[in-house]
Amino acid sequence: MPIVTVTNMFPEAALEKLAPHCDLRTNQTESPPTAEDLKKHVSESAVIVTYLSDKIGQDIIDCGESLKLIANYGAGFNNIDVAHAAKKGIWVTNTPGVLHETTADLTWAMILGAARCIVPAERFTRENRFKGWQAKMYLGGDVYGKTLGVIGCGEIGSAVARRASGFNMQVLYHNRNRLPQEKERDLNAIYTPLEELLRQSDFVTVHAPLTKATQHMIGKEQFLMMKPTAYFIHTARGKVVDDEALVEALKAGRIAGAALDVYENEPALSQGMTELENLMLLPHIGSASHETRDKMADLVADNVLDALAGKTPRCLVPSWKKQVTR
């Protein structure tokens, strides 16, 4: 039977779905594989199920003489050299369309948490330092009636914008391509140049994909454009934002606060981040609900079963398709 290797912890229901169709090898621990482990897995497997923490470069892909598919357990796939995989005829898939609502929920938790100082206030209370109500204790910013700027209005950005109606917010959005007028009306969102969005928004949330054009699209210059009372939220891809510039902006009070679920050099944090009270730090949990992670795993299993049956997997990443149509 063909070997399918799963590099990290994976939901049991999806493993049970795969098991009858392959020689299934799993790593049900919290210890990610090393580069040497990945080379060995790839050399032995017809399919490898990978995580964002698995760096699948040319050297690893070249070990896969019988490899048919790299199935990433996540919507992102910047950890994989997709162009090289396509050149070698190896499919690359991800899990689109199943995690945008959950990630949008977390984005709103971060918006509210950053604005209302939830994390430092909770820590203050947990440390038994709360001795009674005070007029100026943990003053934050209102969310209701403010302006929300959405950078990248795909599935996740649109889901975030849709939720803003409940807070009576004006929504500005910036996207590589303008949305159809009907969708703009549905979202009650106004297409806006990036500079104007940064200047007008009380909350800026980033949902852009990582490309050569978007790497460090938010840096020192962009933070200087924002209001000193504004909050910055990031749940997209770490390298879209210059983390050092963000730390500098927060330390200097150029913006009021920020919340991050992703990092430029993930999992490493940039120097100074942990010292900032006005910065919420989360461990990349955008899709971390039981229901969504199970849906993602089920979609991974479907892609694997497609490949094992000799069919084109249903969730080929867009950049893979572009490579083979050139």
Whole-number pLDDT of residue 321: 67
CA torsion 173-175-177-181 (nearest 10°) is -20
Beta-carbon contacts of 178 under 8 Å, excluding residues fewer than 6 positions away, are 184, 191
Of the chain, the percentage scoring pLDDT greater than 90 comes to: 94
Residues 9, 27 contacting (CB under 8 angstroms) = yes
Flag whether the pTM goes above 0.85: yes
CATH architecture entry for 3-98+290-325? 3-Layer(aba) Sandwich (3.40)
For residue 320, name the pLDDT band (cuts at 50, 70, 90): confident
Separation CA 188–CA 249 (nearest Å): 30
Query: Which residues belong to the active site?
Result: 237, 266, 284
Q: Where are the domains of the chain?
A: 3-98+290-325, 100-281
Cα distances from 67 to residues 28, 71, 81, 90, in angstroms, run 22, 11, 14, 7
| CATH T-level fold of 100-281 | Rossmann fold (3.40.50)
Separation CA 33–CA 248 (nearest Å): 35
Whole-number pLDDT of residue 326: 47
- pLDDT surpassing 90 at residue 191: yes
Whole-number pLDDT of residue 149: 98
Interval 176-187: pLDDT, tens: 999 999 999 999
**What is the pLDDT averaged over residues 201-223?**
96
- pLDDT surpassing 70 at residue 41: yes
Fold equal for 3-98+290-325 and 100-281:
yes
Whole-number pLDDT of residue 49: 98
Torsions phi, psi of 55, nearest 5? -85, 105
Strand order in the sheet with 91-93: 23-26, 3-6, 47-50, 69-72, 91-93
Interval 264-296: pLDDT, tens: 999 999 999 999 999 999 999 999 999 999 999
For residue 28, name the pLDDT band (cuts at 50, 70, 90): confident
Separation CA 276–CA 219 (nearest Å): 18
Separation CA 159–CA 179 (nearest Å): 14
For residue 302, name the pLDDT band (cuts at 50, 70, 90): very high
